[in-house]
Amino acid sequence: MDIKKTIRMSKIAEYLIVFVMITAAVYFLIPLYVMLVNSFKPLSEIRGGNMLALPRAFTFAPWKKAWATAQIGVQATGLRPYFINSVKIVIPAVLISTLMGAFSGFVLAKWRFKGDTIIFSLLLFGCFIPFQIVLIPSARVLGVLRMAGSTQGLILIHIVYGLGFTTLFFRNTYANIPTEIIQSAQVDGAHFMKIFTAIMLPLSAPVIVVSLIWQTTNIWNDFLFGVSFGSSRSQPMTVALNNLVQSSTGVKEYNVDFAGAIMTALPTLVIYIASGRYFVRGLTSGSVKG
């Protein structure tokens, strides 16, 4: 429905709407603006000046410090090693959970069997559980698997708790592909893997992008698992940022905190800007199972 063509509006009403929309945009942009301008100010300018003002003595020092020398926990490593930890967790976890979701979504959509709806419901419910309910046993199991505090442990956890969403994405997409295509391929002698790689995958580019973006955003932004199961050698960026901001030793360097916050936000923001359409699709299919 295109209401723009249906409703006749006076010029005043149209301007009023634009004004309200710009006001709302300012409200949404203020935190980003505050982080950005203050990350380029020397500390004295934040303490002595107006947070909304542009930097007078423009400096990159807070960025350098946040990246390379700031005190995170007990070590003055900056956020760099934690950024690398996050990358090391995100890439394999995103790829594996997407691949597994593609397979299980395909089977649940096109290789129906008795009880498949129950299995799908159980997978879906797993998307919504409060992770507090699995923290204690997860910690035990990672310990038993000798993965406590390791990057591998966090990868495993993120794969497992992403499967519900990835399965959902692929199942809903594949359910809309006519079963006749698969049946005629079977008549031609194509087997399961052949059908999957030759028929389903070529039709899957959009849903793969949705799944990759959804998983990357969720895993990059995770804090609870990172803080519960990470150690100083595997903690993700979000945990390090929180340590930086909460640290109470010495002078509080707001500009370094802001630079660190932008570094943490940047990867997912870039993905969002580059592929907003798929981000939106993930959000809607993550909520409306239609």
Among 12, 56, 74, 132, binds other proteins (CB under 8 A): 132
Interface map 165-184 toward other proteins (x if CB under 8 A): --x-----------------
Give the shortest CB-157-to-other proteins separation in angstroms.
8
CA distance 163 to 98: 8
Residue 239 · residue 82 · CB < 8 Å:
yes
CA distance 223 to 237: 9
Residue 110 · residue 174 · CB < 8 Å:
yes
Among 69, 117, 183, 184, binds other proteins (CB under 8 A): 117
For residue 135, state whether it binds other proteins (rule: CB under 8 A): yes
The interaxial angle of helices 80-110 and 151-175, nearest 10 deg, is 30
The residue range among 10-18, 54-62, 145-153, 200-208 that interacts with other proteins, by the rule CB under 8 A, is 10-18
Q: Tokens 């049946």 appear where? A: 183
Give the shortest CB-203-to-other proteins separation in angstroms.
18
Among 61, 148, 160, 181, binds other proteins (CB under 8 A): 160
For residue 145, state whether it binds other proteins (rule: CB under 8 A): no
For residue 210, state whether it binds other proteins (rule: CB under 8 A): no
What is residue 149's DSSP assignment?
B
Q: Is the dihedral of CA 61, 64, 68, 74 positive or negative?
A: positive
44-83 residues in contact with other proteins (CB under 8 A) are: 46-47, 50-52
* Residue 72 three-state SS: strand
For residue 205, state whether it binds other proteins (rule: CB under 8 A): no
The residue range among 60-68, 72-80, 108-116, 197-205 that interacts with other proteins, by the rule CB under 8 A, is 108-116
Residue 276 · residue 111 · CB < 8 Å:
no
220-279 residues in contact with other proteins (CB under 8 A) are: 220-221, 223-224, 228, 238, 241-242, 245-246, 254, 257-258, 260-262, 264-265, 268-269, 271-273, 276, 279
CA distance 45 to 56: 8
Binding residues for other proteins, how many (CB under 8 A)? 105
Give the shortest CB-233-to-other proteins separation in angstroms.
19
Whose CA is closest to 219, among 148, 172, 166? 166
